[in-house]
């Protein structure tokens, strides 16, 4: 699996190592998820289009990410077992 | 893993067998996801609170589900390898 991008530390705080152990069970696991889904949803949070769930927190996080970050983080988590 | 609830056929149409093979890569895999996350998000779609992504389709699907359905489907998909 790929090395974690630096900004994965942001995600890890809630989704856990490799996104596999979220700190709360109402948060989603990210490991092995579809990359294109992660890209689409991160951009949806970043644009503020996504509501519901933890959208307030996720929108704040996603606004710190460039398109390159989103690509790197999505392929990192998609590649985690 | 548990037997699929009857209404899993609704989900399978887009998320694939055991939710592991979505028919489009912008749809999420459901297999092995946190049960409490699936319950929270299905209820969020059902109430119309969740926007972004495929919320239009998901809201229509979720409105066909009772609380018992949501529990059964969430634990089914969470238990899939």
Cβ-defined contact of B53 to A45 (cutoff 8 Å): no
Q: How close B59 comes to chain A (CA, Å)?
A: 12
- Cβ–Cβ < 8 Å for A39, B24: no
The mean per-residue pLDDT over the stretch A17-43 comes to: 97
Instruction: Check residue A1 and give its pLDDT.
Output: 54
Chain B hits for A40, Cβ within 8 Å:
26, 53
- Structural domains of chain A ordered from first start: 8-78 (1.10.760.10)
pLDDT tens digits for A9-21?
999 999 999 999 9
Which of B27, B30, B34, B79 to probe the A interface (max A CBs under 10 A)? Answer: B34
Phi, psi of B46 (to 5 degrees): -60, -35
The answer to whether the Cα torsion of A19, B39, A37, A11 is positive or negative is negative
Burial of A19 (0-12, 13-18, 19+ CB in 10 A): buried
pLDDT in tens, A59-74: 999 999 999 999 999 9
- pLDDT (tens digit per residue) in B35-74: 999 999 999 999 999 999 899 999 999 999 999 999 999 9
Interchain CB contacts (distance < 8 Å): A and B: 70
ipTM score: 0.93
Answer yes or no: is pLDDT of B1 > 70.
Answer: no
């Amino acid at each position: 699996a790929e090395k974690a991008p630096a900004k994965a530390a942001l995600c890890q705080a809630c989704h856990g190592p490799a996104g596999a152990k979220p700190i709360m069970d109402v948060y989603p696991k990210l490991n092995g998820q579809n990359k294109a889904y992660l890209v689409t949803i991160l951009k949806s949070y970043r644009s503020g289009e996504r509501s519901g769930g933890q959208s307030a927190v996720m929108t704040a996080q996603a606004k710190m990410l460039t398109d390159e970050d989103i690509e790197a983080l999505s392929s990192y988590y998609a590649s985690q077992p």
